[in-house]
Structure formats: structure tokens, C-alpha cells
């Protein structure tokens, strides 16, 4: 009896891992509750085998004036469990009505054992007086990955304007923030030991870009970003360098420019290190400015290597999280 039970349990576990978990780029993406995932402009943090996805929660039922960040977890990147609205705040420093919280990114600091959230904090939306003029990062921390993050402060990193932010943790564990400093370009800066300060500039990439993301792949750094067209899509571009400090190559198109990145804007490049291969996933947002809660996600495996990066045409696909292999699905 117990042998049969064990066999059944084993077969169930096997089918759960063997069934391909299919990604549906651009479609509604329901969480474990059947609700469309609210993690826009987001980022991923991996702890052990679990991925945590943090992003802007633009849910329609969020209270007026509240700005929210939600966290979801997954072990296969396709099926997500809602964990918590980890950050929820009403105008913490009197930024003005209609203030902005965008593109939250969470780092785990192994020394302090704190989870540290960076976010773009700004004044009211464009069109309103003072819109997007503060250009700061906000910082919030928590002792657990999906607990209630406590707001600490906001500042301009190294004294510079900062709007869209991206996160990058290098192979040696060093944490970096990529931020858009208009009109100069992307700045890549190292965080302090406790991650609470943006400590040292590593590079200024003098291109007018935002939605910054970086991946390190086979000895090369790839930086990716979009043009400055607000919520409207544009041809995202990438450059490469042997060191984060540069020199960076010229920027090239990620996809045929007339496709406008298939309607998406970059938010992160996620490397999956598998037993057979390393895949890199493009994570982008398809914004719907009039109904932000319905904004979609475009996640696709990139063709990468030898200094080239290509975003394929969106199709259903699946990822074997163990081997790292991605393939198209019908």
C-alpha cells in the first residue's frame, strides 16, 4: 500500500516538473488566485530555488492615493503565487498629490540580512505642476523577503537626477543600480556595503535611454534600454562591454526597429543558469496608460552570444528551469 502511494506521489511530482509551463507573451497573466499579476516595471530576486517578482501594483482596488508594490513567488517563472502587497504607502515625504512610485527593485544583502527595495520616487505625473521633477530614488527595507517593507528615505543618487531604475548583481555578488539621469544618460553605480546608499559611479553611458537592464553572459556585459517615449513603445537597443566601466560598443537594435520591441519596454534581463545551458529572458512591460492595471508583460528568451542580442518574435514558449533550455510551444 505504502509503496503504491509512494509511486503515485513520485509520478505526480514527475508530471508536475515535466509538464511544460507555458509563457503567453502579452496575454493576461493570472496568479494563483486567478488575478492578473500586478508587478509592472518589476524585477526578480532569486533566493534558493525560489524566484520573487516585485513590481508596481496598479490594481484597481488599491486605495486612492496609495502607491503599492506587490511580491509574487515561483519556482518555474511561469506560475506565480501572490505573497503580499509588500509596500503600501501614502505620500511618505509630502511629495504632492499624484506623486509617483515606479519600477521597484529588491536586493538581498547577505551581510545585513536585509531586503532592500529601491524605487523611482517622483512628484506628480507629467501635465501636473512639478511633474517628474523630483527625480529621486526611495529606499525601503524588510527583514523578510515578502514582509511589510518600511520606508527609509529618498535621495538623488550621487546628487544626480534619477528616473527609471534597473538592478544588476554581478557574479561576485556586487550590487549595482542603473539609473537614468536626464539629459546625460544611463549611470551605473555601485551600492554601499549595506546597500542603503548609492556609493560609487562606475560608468556614465551617454545615451538618452531608460528602462535600463544589464546581464553578464559569457564574459560580456550587455546593457539594454529604451528610448524616452513615455508609455509608448520604441525600438529598445543594447550595447556590450568587457567591463561595466566600459568602453561600451555602439547601441544596436534588439529587434527590427519597425516592430517597436513588439510593444514592450525593457525592465530586466534575467539569466537562468541551467544544467545544460544558460538562458537570458527579456522582461518587458506593455504599458496601457489609460488602464495601467491591465498592462501586460512581454517575457521572451533572447538569442544571445558573441556580442549579439536578439529579441525573437513573440510566440508561446516554455522554459525547463532545471536544464535552462527554452523552446517554442504551439
Contact residues: ligand GAL, CB under 6 A: 41, 102-103, 164, 210-211, 230-231, 265
CB of 21 to ligand GAL, least distance (A): 28
Phi, psi angle pair for 260, to nearest 5°: 50, 45
Buried b (16+ CB within 10 A) or exposed e, 228-241: eeeeebbbbbbbbb
CB of 242 to ligand GAL, least distance (A): 28
Phi, psi angle pair for 8, to nearest 5°: -60, -45
C-alpha cell at 92: 511618505
Coil, strand or helix: which one is 262?
Answer: helix
Q: Which is nearer to ligand GAL, 42 or 314 (CB)?
A: 42
CB of 269 to ligand GAL, least distance (A): 16
Coil, strand or helix: which one is 61?
Answer: coil
CB of 102 to ligand GAL, least distance (A): 5
Q: Which is nearer to ligand GAL, 220 or 264 (CB)?
A: 264
Q: What is each CA distance from 15 to 40, 68, 111, in whole angstroms?
A: 31, 36, 39
Q: Which is nearer to ligand GAL, 20 or 26 (CB)?
A: 26
C-alpha cell at 84: 503580499
Q: Which is nearer to ligand GAL, 124 or 324 (CB)?
A: 124
Q: Which is nearer to ligand GAL, 161 or 164 (CB)?
A: 164
* CB contact at 8 A, 54 and 104: yes
In this chain, which residue has its C-beta nearest to ligand GAL?
230
CB of 276 to ligand GAL, least distance (A): 35
Amino acid at each position: 500500500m505504502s509503496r503504491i502511494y509512494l509511486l503515485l506521489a513520485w509520478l505526480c511530482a514527475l508530471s508536475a516538473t515535466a509538464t511544460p509551463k507555458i509563457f503567453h507573451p502579452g496575454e493576461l497573466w493570472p496568479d494563483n488566485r486567478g488575478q492578473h499579476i500586478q508587478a509592472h516595471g518589476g524585477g526578480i530576486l532569486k533566493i534558493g530555488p525560489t524566484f520573487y517578482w516585485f513590481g508596481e501594483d496598479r490594481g484597481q482596488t488599491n486605495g486612492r492615493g496609495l502607491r503599492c508594490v506587490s511580491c509574487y513567488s515561483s519556482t518555474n517563472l511561469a506560475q506565480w503565487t501572490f505573497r503580499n502587497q509588500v509596500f503600501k504607502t501614502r505620500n511618505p515625504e509630502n511629495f504632492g498629490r499624484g506623486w509617483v512610485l515606479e519600477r521597484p527593485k529588491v536586493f538581498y544583502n547577505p551581510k545585513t540580512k536585509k531586503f532592500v527595495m529601491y524605487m523611482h520616487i517622483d512628484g506628480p505625473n507629467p501635465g501636473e505642476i512639478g511633474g517628474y521633477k523630483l527625480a529621486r530614488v526611495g529606499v525601503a527595507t524588510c527583514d523578510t523577503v515578502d514582509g511589510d517593507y518600511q520606508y527609509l528615505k529618498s535621495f538623488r543618487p550621487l546628487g544626480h537626477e534619477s528616473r527609471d531604475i534597473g538592478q544588476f548583481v554581478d557574479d561576485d555578488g556586487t550590487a549595482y543600480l542603473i539609473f537614468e539621469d536626464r539629459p546625460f544618460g544611463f549611470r551605473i553605480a555601485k551600492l554601499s556595503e549595506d546597500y542603503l546608499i548609492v556609493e560609487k559611479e562606475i560608468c556614465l553611458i551617454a545615451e538618452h535611454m531608460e528602462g535600463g537592464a544589464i546581464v553578464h553572459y559569457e564574459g560580456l556585459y550587455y546593457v539594454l534600454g529604451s528610448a524616452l517615449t513615455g508609455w509608448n513603445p520604441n525600438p529598445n537597443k543594447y550595447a556590450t562591454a568587457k567591463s561595466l566601466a566600459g568602453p561600451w560598443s555602439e547601441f544596436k537594435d534588439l529587434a527590427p526597429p519597425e516592430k517597436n520591441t513588439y510593444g514592450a519596454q525593457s525592465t530586466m534581463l534575467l539569466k537562468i543558469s541551467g544544467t545544460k545551458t544558460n538562458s537570458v529572458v527579456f522582461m518587458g512591460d506593455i504599458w496601457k496608460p489609460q488602464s495601467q492595471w491591465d498592462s501586460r508583460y512581454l517575457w521572451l528568451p533572447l538569442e544571445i552570444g558573441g556580442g549579439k542580442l536578439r529579441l525573437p518574435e513573440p510566440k508561446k514558449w516554455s522554459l525547463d528551469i532545471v536544464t535552462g533550455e527554452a523552446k517554442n510551444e504551439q
